[in-house]
């Protein structure tokens, strides 16, 4: 550990919080100084389990008041993301948050305004855009001239129990953001409209709709189609999904786990070599720390990440309406809602800033 190690507080000591403890501990330039969880003893139990001798707290405010903190990792439940991240930003502490950055686009616009007004970095970890496989797949598509038709099939059958079995739209709201974010990464473009149907296969064990079919149109004319189910027994795909992209000069496919296969118009199929590099949480954290060191903004920086959250919200809205949804309309409604939330939710100081919060045109993949 060097003298310059950044002091990290992890908020949320559940399953994913422990994965983040392990990720931070792997870096010698970071030092965990505190764990926070609203549930009595959860933070202490996690510290004990991971052999960490650090202070534990019941709220992020208490931790920020007691400690000198350089970085907060927010691994709470989605409903707590806005409150926890905003508290840290207001204290001038950069935040790396688990996905989704907030449950809604309106709340994300609000949080983005807090990040801008405090000039403090706010980013999301979208761990599935960081893998050797997806990087090779993206490069293969780009080498062939870029995909105009991209599709993914995501078929899994987890028996989680708990909140996912009870919530509305479990597949679209809790999982599909990963594939939607991957599509933005692969196409390097932004969605402009979506038509989506979500439904419950008759054998589904979820209360909410656990299957969906969606077609997104992107600004550069590309189409992305998503076909998914969380109650598909047999022949399951990988958790990244099974991908195929078609370009003017050929096609590429990635099973989400192992090989990327490419075939150009004139050649036979060939397997791409995967290049080494950080993956998953390690890669998301590396990007974030690089940005703190003066490097480029991370790919999960809040204004860049909002497009992935918007894909979830637009797909759910389209399914509810039984009609296509335009992203311009969604962002207009979300901006109005963000202003309302700012007025009633103790964010009066950023109401003026919301006019300059990211709009459709600012969102980048
Ligand atoms: N990237 C991935 O692949 C992936 C996988 C699983 C979960 N996640 C995300 O990680 C986050 C956490 O998921 P999880 O599975 O660890 O959930 P979890 O329920 O196991 O843990 C969340 C913890 O946050 C605590 N908490 C809630 N409100 C709080 C508050 N205001 N302050 C402090 N602590 C609070 C809870 O008590 C709980 O211990 C979610 O946003 C989820 O979507 C991401």
Residue ID of nearest Cα to ligand 1 atom 1 = 127
**Tell me, what's the pLDDT at 358?**
52
From the alpha carbon of 125, which atom of ligand 1 is closest?
1
pLDDT of residue 37: 98
Same domain, 53 and 102: yes
pLDDT above 70 for 278: yes
Ligand 1 center to residue 270 CA distance, Å?
41
- Give the per-residue pLDDT at 231: 98
Q: Specify if 67 maps to a domain.
A: yes
pLDDT above 70 (res 355)? no
**Whether residues 116 and 166 fall in one domain:** no
93/70 Cα distance (integer angstroms): 6
* pLDDT, position 99: 95
Q: Is residue 310 part of a domain?
A: no
Examine residue 22 and state whether it is found in any structural domain, yes or no: yes
Nearest to 71 by CA among 223, 298, 263: 298
The per-residue pLDDT for 351 is 85
Mean pLDDT of 320-325: 98
The position carrying tokens 């118009």 is 265
What is the pLDDT, as a whole number, of residue 256? 97
Work out how many domains the chain is built from and give that number: 2
In ligand 1, the atom with minimum distance to the C-alpha of 15 is 16
* Cα(30) to centroid(ligand 1), Å: 21
Q: What is the pLDDT of residue 162?
A: 82
| Cα of 19 from ligand 1 centre, angstroms | 11
pLDDT at 361 over 70: no
pLDDT of residue 93: 98
Atom of ligand 1 nearest to the CA of 126: 1
pLDDT at 365: 63
Structural domain ending residue among the three candidates 250, 271, 292: 271
pLDDT at 132: 96
From 59, 98, 101, give the residue whose CB has the most ligand 1 atoms within 8 Å, as the site to mutate. 98
Nearest to 135 by CA among 301, 245, 276: 276
- Same domain flag for 140 and 265: yes
pLDDT score recorded for residue 3:
62
Contact 217, 341 (CB under 8 A): no
Q: Domain of 167: which CATH number? A: 3.30.360.10
> What is the model's pLDDT at position 144?
96
DSSP sequence for 162-197: THHHHSSSHIIIIIHHHHHHHHHHHHTS-EEEEEEE
Domain for residue 1, yes or no? no
Question: What integer pLDDT is reported at residue 160 of this predicted model?
Answer: 87
**pLDDT per residue over 1-31, tens digit each?**
456 899 999 999 999 999 999 999 999 999 9
pLDDT of 294 higher than 90: yes
pLDDT band with cut points at 50, 70 and 90 for residue 356: low
32 found inside a domain? yes
Query: Can you tell me the mean pLDDT for 293-317?
Result: 97
Same domain, 191 and 112: no
What is the mean predicted confidence (pLDDT) over 307-312?
98
Asked if residue 263 and residue 226 are part of one domain, the reply reads: yes
- Examine residue 321 and state whether it is found in any structural domain, yes or no: no
Residue nearest ligand 1's atom 20 by CA: 14
Domain of residue 91 covers 6-127+279-301+326-362
pLDDT of residue 353: 77
11 C-alpha to ligand 1 centroid (Å):
9
Cα 126 to middle of ligand 1, angstroms: 14
Beta strand pairing call for 95-98 and 71-74: parallel
Q: What is the mean pLDDT of the chain?
A: 94
Mean pLDDT, range 250-255, rounded to an integer: 98
Within a domain: residue 317?
no
CA distance 331 to 253: 32
CATH number for the domain harbouring residue 109: 3.40.50.720
Q: What pLDDT does 1 receive?
A: 47
CB 187 within 8 A of CB 364: no
- Give ligand 1 pocket residues (Cβ under 6 A): 11-17, 36-39, 42, 60, 75-78, 80, 84, 98-99, 127
Read off the pLDDT of each residue in 171-196 and give the average, rounded to a whole number. Answer: 97
**In this structure, which residue's CA is closest to atom 5 in ligand 1?**
16
In whole angstroms, what is the distance from residue 305 CA to residue 123 CA? 8
Specify if 139 maps to a domain: yes
Co-location of 187 and 222 in the same domain:
yes
- Give yes or no for residue 130 having a pLDDT over 90: yes
Alpha helices in the chain (DSSP H): 15-25, 42-50, 60-66, 81-90, 105-118, 132-143, 163-166, 170, 176-187, 280-292, 302-321, 327-344
């Amino acid at each position: 550990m060097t003298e310059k190690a950044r002091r990290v507080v992890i908020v949320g000591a559940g399953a994913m919080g422990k994965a983040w403890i392990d990720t931070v501990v792997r870096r010698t330039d970071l030092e965990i100084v505190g764990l926070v969880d609203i549930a009595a003893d959860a933070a202490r139990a996690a510290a004990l389990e991971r052999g960490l001798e650090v202070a534990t707290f019941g709220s992020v405010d208490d931790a920020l008041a007691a400690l000198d903190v350089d970085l907060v990792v927010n691994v709470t439940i989605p409903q707590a993301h806005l409150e926890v991240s905003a508290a840290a930003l207001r204290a001038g502490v950069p935040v790396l948050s688990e996905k989704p950055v907030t449950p809604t686009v309106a709340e994300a616009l609000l949080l983005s305004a807090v990040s801008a007004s405090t000039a403090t970095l706010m980013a999301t970890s979208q761990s599935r855009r960081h893998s050797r496989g997806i990087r090779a797949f993206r490069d293969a598509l780009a080498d062939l001239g870029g995909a105009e038709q991209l599709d993914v099939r995501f078929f899994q059958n987890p028996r989680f129990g708990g909140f996912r079995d009870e919530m509305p739209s479990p597949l679209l709201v809790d999982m599909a953001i990963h594939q939607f974010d991957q599509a933005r990464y692969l196409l390097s473009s932004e969605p402009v409209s979506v038509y989506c149907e979500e439904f419950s296969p008759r054998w589904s064990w979820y209360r909410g709709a656990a299957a969906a079919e969606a077609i997104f149109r992107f600004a550069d004319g590309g189409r992305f189609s998503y076909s998914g189910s969380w109650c598909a027994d047999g022949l399951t795909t990988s958790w990244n999904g099974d991908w195929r992209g078609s370009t003017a000069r050929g096609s590429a496919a990635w099973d989400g786990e192992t090989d990327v296969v490419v075939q150009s118009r004139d050649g036979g199929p060939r397997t791409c070599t995967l290049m080494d590099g950080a993956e998953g949480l390690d890669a998301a954290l590396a990007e974030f720390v690089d940005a703190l060191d003066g490097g480029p903004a991370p790919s999960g920086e809040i204004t860049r990440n909002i497009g992935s959250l918007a894909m979830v919200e637009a797909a759910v809205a389209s399914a509810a309406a039984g009609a296509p949804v335009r992203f311009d309309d969604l962002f207009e409604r979300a901006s109005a809602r963000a202003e309302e939330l700012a007025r009633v939710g103790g964010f009066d100081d950023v109401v003026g800033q919301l006019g300059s919060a990211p709009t459709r045109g600012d969102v980048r993949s």
